Structure 1
Amino acid sequence: GDATPPPQAPSRRRSMVAQIEARGNEAAGLSLGLDLVAAGFLIRTPIHAGYSLVAMVVWIPAVLLVAMPLMHLYLDTLILRATDYKANIIHARNWGAALLLGSLKILSAVLLDTIYQTNCQSGPLINDNNCLAPQYPNDLGGRLGISALPDVFKWQTLVDLFVLLGLMLVVKGIFYLRFVLRDGLGEASTNAKTFSLDAILANPENNAMAISFAGYCMGQGLVMVGVCTCTDDDVGEHAGLLFAWTSIGCGLMLISQYINDKLLVRGLNNTSALLDDNIAVGVMEAGSFIATGVVMYSTMGGSGGDFAEDLGVTVLYWALAQLLMLGFTVIYRFMTVFDDLEQIKKGNAAAGVSAAMTLISLAFGIGAPIRMYTSVAVFVPVSLVGLVILVALRVIVDKVMLPGDKLDDEIMQVNWGAAIIEGAVALAIALITNTYIKQAADFDQCA
């Protein structure tokens, strides 16, 4: 009889949806959810910039159908080289790979969003907040009548994009060197021959490494975004400043991470713990990377102002922010009945989630005053008020959000949900507080 034709390979969308609906594949669900977040960032770009509906209709298909697929190809080819990540997510249910790939897509979307808005600042009808000037018609007819597109198709945009893509490779190389040099220079050659970062990142048996690398990329990406927020008429000078400021930011971020490793998780070899798939350490590291990135995003000077003066201010605020983060962490540990460090050493992922989200919330609380106020005399008290609010918040979450249960007990029992509730509420309060700080301050980062 006739041979049965081989089954057709399902499309990625059909496979993802089928895995989510029929098999409960959490990795597929995470991947699709993060894809939607990245798409959301790109869709909101022309809306936030205040341009016409015509610009929105042109921009969204261009980035979703052209720019992001090309970016995905770049990530697959040069950043994530070991295997087919989509197959790894669907068949191996590798949620670490899903988180890493989704984080890189979100980072790419944020970088495109930043480049778009930065180049929109030169428009005559745009104010400092990248919105339509108040005197310009803001009704539907007025929006439809604006046909001009933002000036994003220029050399500075192309240079920014290529510099940032190249820096992403450098970022991965630095992360790789951490593991090659884990036993010292004497063993570096041997480790380089036996260690494959690409293989471990795609290994479904080690999600901790993917989580840490995802946080590392997001943190370094925030540094890049902070640098990109200022324009410069000289394309070559802007490219040089972009590279210089990003390198400075990455260097300060590595110092911050070294300090956090030595003081916040003292006595624990984070590198070995990641290789042993300690999820708690991976989450804690990711939170520390992102928190440091948030602070560095706020301190970066970009192309505006005097380089030496901006560098001094950047280092000063970075040092103050680092001291505040360490001080708050000590206070936070006094508030918990369990030994945070011991729980993280044991691989308690809930403790890692709680510590990571608390650090990120703290960074948002510190970052806003840095960006809004140029006076240390104002920045310090405003930051301290934010820290007091976060301390009080933990008591409120314990008493109101989880009545009848002790938050510390839930975390000790590895209750991810309780840790996420605590972190989500803290992050929400930090973002709300930032909104009021922004309304109270009048600043121009590039002035």
Structure 2
Amino acid sequence: MADRPITSWSVRELAHAVASAELSPVELAEAFLERAERAEPVVRAFAHLDPELVRRQAERAAAEVVAGRWRGPLHGVPIGVKDIVDTADMPTRYGSPVWPDIHPARDAAVVRRLREAGAVVFGKNTTQEFAVGIACAPTANPWDPRRVAGGSSGGSAAAVAARECAASVGSDTGGSIRIPAAFCGVVGLRPTGDRVPHDGVWPASPTLDRVGPIARTVDDTELLFRCLAGLPSTSDFPVPGLAGVRIGVVTDWLAESDDDVRDVVAEAIGLLERAGARLVEVTAPAMDLVGPAYRGVALHEVAAAHRAGAARGLLDHNPAILGAVAVGGGVDERALSAARNAVARIGRAWDALFTGHGLRLLLSPTVPFTACTPVDLPVLEMRAGSLTIPLSLSGLPVVSQPVGFANGLPVGVQWIGPRGADLELLAAARAYEGLTDWHTAEPPVG
């Protein structure tokens, strides 16, 4: 590790260095603060970053190490959180230019768990306003600052990719963890159901919202997921081989992707074949139900949250939320009931895809194109979630993982697992990661 800057070390490496007294939490904090000072003028991934607060947390963590009090697997490690997650010592702005700063009385449940594990809560990562959308301005993509980082957890993914923090906590409704993870070349997990608590996190769509980790490696993603979900941490990471594992490739989604994305994903599929995986071609089920289900549930819930603000003119600057209010506000009780029934049918259809083909995993592109420019975004925005929204409605756990580059921009794939099989899903993604080195690539920014 000595030949790499500290900010390029994995979360597990950093935590081990702190536990073994190889590094002090204060050294970690200063290294990441210096990195953020260089990268942040371009990336702009933080809505709030208070260096003195970071230093005070690091000093407390260092004093605990000296006293022999090791809190856990994140002790002294700088972790960001999305700016819709409550933090008692930092303001929460929800990505809004008009909403007044909120100073929560207490931390969100996930922040409490981070602190209990010893993490240094490094700052609040930018988000699309109220977690609706995929641009996440003013955040820029670390691989090409002319392009978007994705959203709404774009600040979290960009900060992790740019090595401004070791990992981050995001949220995903229709793809808000997975889309920026794919655009920025990092790993992001949308967990099953309520594995990670939502208390103290702004509810964009309570039915579909999930809180999850964003990190540079699958190993780090699992480490953070275990912390957020309140699961026991492990000192080792079991990595089964992929030989003989039946993996369904969602071929219609592959065909819908741009040529450059399809070529990269095809190379990843070839690598799986060489590793001995048994690939099965499948088609995404219940796609005719996706539009009505998403409009009837997600947009209805967004509309309910913002109807009053829209009526007062507080959201006139935000066409995405106004559009959601207009569409979702027209959903009556009968349509809402039908939409919820459609969500249940979508979940059963995806479950049947696993059982009907004897599959352990499914694989598809995360986004059918690479990170675009803000100018191109209005044309592409609806398409950006075309492969993530159906899986949000399915209720299955999904992890996005980088598998290569197209024209210098990251390409991600979605690994999809059976309901509740989050850890098994991560183990498979980690096995694939062990065959590649895409996760070690560093963007040029900073």
Which one has more relative contact order, counting CA pairs under 8 Å at least 6 apart?
Answer: 2
Q: What TM-score does the superposition give when structure 2 sets the normalisation length?
A: 0.31
Q: What TM-score does the superposition give when structure 1 sets the normalisation length?
A: 0.31
More helix by share: 1
More strand by share: 2
Give the number of the structure whose alpha-carbon radius of gyration is greater: 1
